[in-house]
Chain A
């Protein structure tokens, strides 16, 4: 997250690169990453081929102010010289929705089995571990019995869901789920839509943009597009945090496989 695209480009240029402790970063195709600040070009939309995967807008009800702002944004890009390719849809969208709606879909299996392995790996590297917590199971048990964790108001449901799988990311069932989930985000999703239409990028409102590229480890850059009008109803989460209301602007999301492993 950053204040501007420019700030983000400077930050990324500093943090990008190979890290021997993060094997995802070792896959990058260059020894020295690009200087991303050289990409800060006002004219870069000219001649760009930009796709709109309309089926990506259909899973959730998107508020009208967001939809209106999205259409305005498309016009901004046309005016800047971009070629807009409408209905550049995700080829396996229906399969993705089915998988996402499943009680334990393939994406959930990937996240959960990875967590079982990765938390244990992390804990094994601690130089000090006063409560001797080595696994998700230990963590769940500790949390339930340590008063300051406020169990069960703050429960261990997410961890217990991971444990209910009964395996970690070394299991063949994890690998099957990983491959299918990667396909839904990649060839069946973002990469398929890009290739079929010979595109440089896809655009979507940020609230429905991240799930498919996350499955395939693909990058996103998000910028503010609009904000809810001043007469918007304030809506709070059940913990009392405001998630919609007047003047709430967008959040920039950055999802850089260069630096962060994204499943």
Chain B
């Protein structure tokens, strides 16, 4: 199996609102994504190629 190094919030049917709330509160307290520098950083973002 592949190891994805994340944490998952699991809920009952139609609980997406709650799960998004918990995930957001956790993300905003940890900011794990900002603590690691990727080897490759994309130099094109959607905004560069998709018209508004």
Could you tell me which A residues sit within 8 Å of B by CB distance?
A: 3-6, 8-9, 12, 28-29, 34, 36, 38-45, 48, 50, 60, 63, 65-66, 69-70, 73, 76-77, 79-80, 190-191, 194, 200-207, 209-210, 212-213, 217-228, 237, 243-244, 247-253, 256-258
Contacts and interface: CB of A to CB of B under 8 A. Distances in A.
Given A73-B30, A249-B33, A206 B20 contact: no
A89 to B, nearest CB: 13
B3 A63 contact: yes
A41 B16 CA distance: 14
Given A4-B33, A220-B9, A220-B10, 19 more contacts: A29-B14, A39-B17, A41-B24, A42-B28, A80-B25, A201-B10, A203-B9, A203-B10, A205-B8, A206-B7, A207-B1, A217-B13, A219-B13, A219-B19, A221-B16, A221-B22, A224-B33, A249-B5, A253-B6
A223 B36 contact: no
Contacts of A70: 7
A219 B16 CA distance: 7
Nearest to A206: B6
Interface residues of B, number: 37
Contacts of B20: 5, 8-9, 12, 36, 39-40, 221
Interface in B7-45: 7-30, 32-33, 35-39
- Which of A5, A12, A206, A243: most chain B Cβ within 10 A? A5
Given A203-B9, A206-B8, A5 B27 contact: yes
30 contacts: A5-B27, A12-B16, A34-B16, A42-B24, A44-B24, A50-B22, A73-B7, A76-B30, A201-B10, A203-B7, A204-B7, A206-B4, A207-B1, A207-B3, A207-B6, A210-B8, A217-B13, A221-B8, A221-B9, A222-B4, A224-B5, A224-B33, A225-B30, A225-B32, A226-B5, A247-B37, A248-B5, A253-B4, A258-B14, A258-B16
